[in-house]
Chain A
């Protein structure tokens, strides 16, 4: 494929991806009716990454790009995992320090009314 022809693919693949996004979003929304726990968290992440992957790979055509572009764009965000790890440690530490010095919460939430 010459570089300047652009991304041309059969329409069918977009319809399939579109349908898959609808189904995955419905599943995502359905997790809100589940009990909190490891299973729910896993499903939230699973559906999230499936949707994100589909959008980037098919809709944004990343799957058809050359490896150099794929690596240049997709590898840097992986390092965000390090930031998440560091800030999770920092957050836990801050919470423990607050409880140690100021005591636990005395906040009484109001009922939600619509």
Chain B
């Protein structure tokens, strides 16, 4: 799917592995994407390592503790209509985040079509779903704190459960919150025509989208390793 590309000087660069060599071997631009996009990818790569460190340390404390690990499907379960439904809230949060990823992907597409109105509303919808997610997470935290879960102890098993939970979901929630603000700032600039004055390029929507999809991506791993495992 990666194709040959033309540089500004009119030189054609080959595709495939020859393209890798050509892209890195000369005193020139290596990544043929807008610089903002390349830098967002580099940032996301570094963020990948941060979240990996959290998840790997969670794995280490979970392996090394001799106390039983609390069963997440019970701890995060909800009683609905007299029946215990495991992980209900977490499942709903997952679907909310996926829905927001879809609206973001559409926003990027309409951005490149220069349909400012649709882009704006899709980005606002994405931010609203993100805010919903954070709200549900606040509810989750409150519920667990009321039940006696602390970073240093909890009534259901190994003490490390609390520290891993608050650290990992807290850091992810912070990313979602920052993303909501970022999306609203960009959405507002799309609406006011800020980017029209700057050449009418809407790659910023895609760059904001990369960040948003990454937040969803991290949740995929947290959901699998922390809640399901």
Q: How large, as a class, is the contact surface on chain B? A: 35 or more
CB distance from B92 to the nearest CB of A (A): 10
| B63 close to A92 (CB less than 8 A) | yes
Known A68-B30, A109-B70; 9 more pairs at CB < 8 Å: A3-B33, A6-B206, A48-B224, A66-B2, A72-B41, A73-B44, A91-B60, A92-B64, A107-B157
| Contact A88 to B228, CB < 8 A, known contacts A32-B73, A69-B38, A72-B31 | no
CB distance from A7 to the nearest CB of B (A): 6
Q: Return 8 A-B CB contacts under 8 Å, by A number.
A: A52-B217, A55-B220, A59-B104, A68-B20, A87-B57, A87-B60, A91-B59, A95-B66
| A17 close to B228 (CB less than 8 A) | no
Is B75 in the interface zone, CB < 8 Å from A? yes
Main secondary structure of the interface of A (DSSP, over half): helix
| B203: chain A residues within 8 A (beta carbon) | 6
| A48 close to B213 (CB less than 8 A) | no
| B206: chain A residues within 8 A (beta carbon) | 6-7, 61
Kindly identify which residue among A8, A44, A47 contacts B112, using a CB–CB cutoff of 8 Å.
A8
Is B67 in the interface zone, CB < 8 Å from A? yes
| Contact A87 to B56, CB < 8 A, known contacts A52-B221, A55-B217, A77-B48 | yes
| Contact A14 to B59, CB < 8 A, known contacts A107-B68, A110-B156 | no
| B98: chain A residues within 8 A (beta carbon) | 18, 21-22, 25
| A14 close to B217 (CB less than 8 A) | no
Among residues 36 to 63 in chain B, which have CB atoms less than 8 Å away from a CB atom of chain A?
38, 41-42, 44-45, 48-49, 52, 56-57, 59-63
| A1: chain B residues within 8 A (beta carbon) | 3, 5
| B155 close to A109 (CB less than 8 A) | yes
Binary CB contact string for chain A from 98 to 110 against chain B (1 if under 8 A, 0 otherwise): 1100101101011
Interface 9-residue window, one of B11-19, B165-173, B186-194: B11-19
Is B108 in the interface zone, CB < 8 Å from A? yes
Among residues 1 to 32 in chain B, which have CB atoms less than 8 Å away from a CB atom of chain A?
1-3, 5-6, 15-17, 19-20, 23-24, 30-32
Binary CB contact string for chain B from 94 to 108 against chain A (1 if under 8 A, 0 otherwise): 110010011011101
Is A38 in the interface zone, CB < 8 Å from B? no
Q: How far is the CA of A21 from the CA of B228 in the complex (A)?
A: 17
Q: How far is the CA of A88 from the CA of B55 in the complex (A)?
A: 12
CB distance from B197 to the nearest CB of A (A): 18
Q: How far is the CA of A105 from the CA of B6 in the complex (A)?
A: 65
Among residues 29 to 88 in chain A, which have CB atoms less than 8 Å away from a CB atom of chain B?
29, 31-33, 41, 44-45, 47-48, 51-52, 55-56, 58-61, 63-73, 76-77, 80, 83-84, 87-88
